[in-house]
């Protein structure tokens, strides 16, 4: 279940990043892309794995995409 939700929310962040690139605001686009793929994912993996176990891995993707 976590996988389906995380993939749906990931699409929203990708579209938002592409939108800001298309209106010529690349800094906002880069911030969205980097925070989604690196910063928030690493924080989420650490926190949710220790709280929820293996289900926390999928929950961290949802956390990163929010």
**Amino acid 20: pLDDT:** 94
CB 65 within 8 A of CB 36: yes
**Amino acid 21: pLDDT:** 92
Q: Is the pTM of this model over 0.75?
A: no
Q: Where do we find the tokens 């289900």?
A: 55
State mean pLDDT over 47-65: 83
**Nearest-5° angle of CA 10, CA 45, CA 27?**
50
pLDDT digits (tens, 9 = 90+) for 9-52: 777 878 888 999 999 999 999 998 888 778 888 888 899 889 98
**Amino acid 11: pLDDT:** 79
22 or 55, which is more confident: 22
């Amino acid at each position: 279940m976590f996988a389906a939700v995380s993939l749906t929310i990931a699409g929203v962040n990708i579209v938002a990043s592409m939108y800001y690139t298309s209106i010529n605001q690349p800094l906002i686009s880069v911030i969205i892309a980097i925070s989604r793929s690196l910063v928030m994912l690493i924080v989420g993996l650490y926190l949710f794995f220790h709280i929820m176990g293996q289900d926390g891995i999928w929950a961290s993707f949802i956390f990163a995409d929010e």
